[in-house]
Amino acid sequence: MASLSGKVAIVTGSSSGIGRAIAERLAEDGAIVVVNYGMSEEKARQVVTGIQGKGGKAIAVQSDMSKADQARRLVSETVKQFGRLDILVNNAGKFMPKPLLETTEADFDQAIALNAKGPYFAMQEAATVLKEGGRIVNISTEGTHLSFPGATAYLGSKAALEQYTKGLAQELAPRGITVNTVSPGFTETGMMTDQLRQIGSEMSPLKRLGAPKDIADVVAFIVSEEARWLTGQNIHAGGGIVM
Active site residues: 154
Listed residue (68, 116, 72) closest to 94, CA to CA? 116
Q: Are 165 and 179 in contact (CB under 8 A)?
A: yes
Report the candidate in 73, 158, 173 with the shortest Cα–Cα distance to residue 122: 73
The neighbour count for residue 198, using CB atoms within 10 Å, is 12
Instruction: Kindly give the interhelix angle for 68-82 and 118-127, rounded to the nearest 10 degrees.
Output: 40
